[in-house]
Amino acid sequence: MSFYKEIPTGKIPERGAELMPDKIAVVGGERRLTYRELNLLIDDLAAGLQEIGYKKGDRVAIYMKNSIELVVAFFALQKLGVIVAWVNPNYRKSEAQFILDNSGARGVFIFQEWEGYDYLQAISEMRDTLPALEWVIVVGRGQGKGLISFDELLKRGRGKRFSPASIDIQEDLSMLIYTSGTTGRPKGAMITHTQAVRAGWQYALGVGAKREDVFIGFLPMMHSYGCGAILIQPLLLLSTVILMEKFDVREAFRIIQDEKVTLQLAAPAHYLLELNRPERSSYDLSSLRAGLIAGQIAPEGLISRIQEEMNVYVCSFWGASEVGPGVGIMCPYPSPLEIRERFIGQAIEDTEIKVVDQATGKEVPEGEIGELTLRGWHVMKGYWRNPEETSRQIRDGWLFMGDLVSREKNGFFKIYGRTKDLINRGGLKIYAYELESMLIEHPGISEVCVVATPNPVLGESICACVVPKSGQQIKLSELRAFLKEKVASYKLPDELCIMSDFPRLSGGVKINKFGKGGLTELARSDQKRQSQRA
């Protein structure tokens, strides 16, 4: 079947309403919508949006938690050809303001309040600096100029005809996915309709997903991973998705049990939290058959542990906002455990990949580590209003991602982290992931990240940042002894930084390694390092 290569994003719910009108498409709390009901709501909202002036090429931001309202808003905008600018619901004023300004958003969808944060108040305070912003569409109460409720827009459009946009799926933009901005201002990756739809299909190939599957949806839908895998994929497959506003272990267990969830797409932290909860045995999780794992490199042994303890087939993959909302490398389903444990997979359909030397740009031999570069249908059109960064990232059609990988003889790729993870200690190169994969096996360590700190003689030192298991005391001398017979002496950690938890990016899952207040900054604090030296 090649339909997924031929339809614009807005046609996905229509197809569901035509083929499976009475099947449950999406569940959010107590609400359960069939494909017919979902598509009718989307059409009503699209008609309401068109009535207040939105048209193809406009940008409208979605600044919302996972919800039925988010799903309806996204697909209504897609039917009109309006470009969605995603804003992380965990962002606060200055972060959101940058994206609203940079995208030139003519509107923004919000909940009035969530998790104790007043989104309406925040938007009101920044409106004077956002000349393009005409309407704030709010779920909840609120009054003011340029403010309209979500329900009011639905009422305005109910039963009315609207004019769907004519979409060139190869050229017209579906969305702007903003990078997390850990090392600078966020950049909006421009993603077309065909990239969005085809990406949803590619996720399915990693777990053998089909229409009979039931997805649990706690990944934030504004992230590339969550957008492609949770917002687009289930509806494209005519499956069912159960939404969660945010991840909670017990609630996830309950949903898996009660809704007979079959697929869980998550990050390493989600699986670790589930594995380490003693009450897991109190729930019937036998319906869960498979899942994906991404967001950071899966710790050594985690995929095996998930299979052994939860009887769930899991594989990792490689993706990024710049190939959003999708993937570039994935293990085909089904793949043996020893392959999934060691590799992130093979290049997906119609994708070319080269592993190149960072200094020369020349392709390196099989088995050698270099920078991942790729080209294909999924590479972004560029960064929105940022030609300088676009030309820096895309060169002669090849996307340079700053990820360190090796291609093995079987065509599978192994990942070692980001180029920023490479530590140069006196001219000798150390890959942080190599040490992390060994240190995580220490019986007293719960989580570990290795970063570089300044060294006046060698240039950089190796600092092991560690979250100990409850009640455990960790010393640098112990870690060095633990690694002594496993690695060369120049790879042994020079410093130890003990933490109760790692700083996370917005969303609370992905580790903030290089951004403001991140691990590298904390580890480079003299006071912090000296207090933890052994």
- What's the CATH number where 129 sits? 3.40.50.12780
**Which element (helix H / strand E) includes 446?**
strand 445-455
In a domain, 44, yes or no: yes
Residue 532's pLDDT is what? Answer: 44
Model confidence at 525: pLDDT above 90: no
Last residue of a domain, one of 150, 168, 190: 190
Backbone phi, then psi, for 364, in 5-degree steps? -95, 155
For residue 343, CA distances in Å to 120, 328, 405, 413 come to 45, 13, 10, 6
- Split at pLDDT 50, 70, 90, the class of 184 is low
- Split at pLDDT 50, 70, 90, the class of 497 is very high
In a domain, 272, yes or no: no
Model confidence at 529: pLDDT above 60: no
Residue 530's pLDDT is what? Answer: 39
Model confidence at 506: pLDDT above 80: no
Instruction: With beta carbons less than 8 A apart as the criterion, state whether 9 and 202 touch.
Output: no
Model confidence at 354: pLDDT above 50: yes
Residue 181's pLDDT is what? Answer: 54
Residue 418's pLDDT is what? Answer: 84
Q: What is the CATH number of the domain that holds 430?
A: 3.30.300.30
Beta bridge partners of 398: 395
Residue 78's pLDDT is what? Answer: 98
Encode 6-42: b = buried (16+ Cβ within 10 Å), e = exposed. ebbbbbbbbbbbeebeeebbbbbeeeebbbbbbbbbb
In a domain, 421, yes or no: no
Encode 177-196: b = buried (16+ Cβ within 10 Å), e = exposed. bbbbbbeeebbbbbbbbbbb
In a domain, 275, yes or no: no
**Which element (helix H / strand E) includes 188?**
strand 188-192
Rounded (5°) CA angle 90-320-361: 140
Beta bridge partners of 60: 84, 107
Alpha helices in 403-497 (DSSP H): 432-439, 476-483
Residue 526's pLDDT is what? Answer: 55
Model confidence at 180: pLDDT above 60: yes
pLDDT tens by residue, 434-456:
899 899 999 999 999 999 999 88
How many CA atoms within 13 Å lie on the side-chain side of 377?
17
- Split at pLDDT 50, 70, 90, the class of 534 is very low
In a domain, 265, yes or no: no
Please report, rounded to a whole number, the percentage of residues in the chain having pLDDT higher than 70.
97
Neighbours of 239 (CB within 10 A): 23
- Least-confidence region, from 135-144, 284-293, 343-352: 135-144
Please report, rounded to a whole number, the percentage of residues in the chain having pLDDT higher than 90.
78
pLDDT tens by residue, 53-97:
999 999 999 999 999 999 999 999 999 999 999 999 999 998 999
Average pLDDT for residues 496-523, to the nearest whole number?
Answer: 84
In a domain, 181, yes or no: yes
For residue 407, CA distances in Å to 30, 336, 410 come to 47, 18, 8
Last residue of a domain, one of 190, 211, 230: 190
Last residue of a domain, one of 155, 190, 225: 190
Cα–Cα distance for residue pair 103/308, rounded to 1 Å: 46
The single-letter code of the amino acid at 227 is C
Instruction: With beta carbons less than 8 A apart as the criterion, state whether 302 and 272 touch.
Output: yes
- Split at pLDDT 50, 70, 90, the class of 145 is confident
Residue 144's pLDDT is what? Answer: 78
In a domain, 229, yes or no: no
- Least-confidence region, from 195-199, 337-341, 364-368, 467-471: 467-471
Of the chain, the end-to-end C-alpha distance in Å amounts to 61
In a domain, 501, yes or no: yes
Structural tokens at position 159:
């039963």
- Split at pLDDT 50, 70, 90, the class of 203 is very high
Instruction: With beta carbons less than 8 A apart as the criterion, state whether 256 and 289 touch.
Output: no
Domain count of the chain? 2
Q: DSSP 3-state assignment of 458?
A: coil
- Split at pLDDT 50, 70, 90, the class of 129 is very high
Residue 410's pLDDT is what? Answer: 87
Average pLDDT for residues 179-198, to the nearest whole number?
Answer: 86
Structural domain for 520, as ranges:
426-532
Average pLDDT of the chain is 93
Neighbours of 477 (CB within 10 A): 10
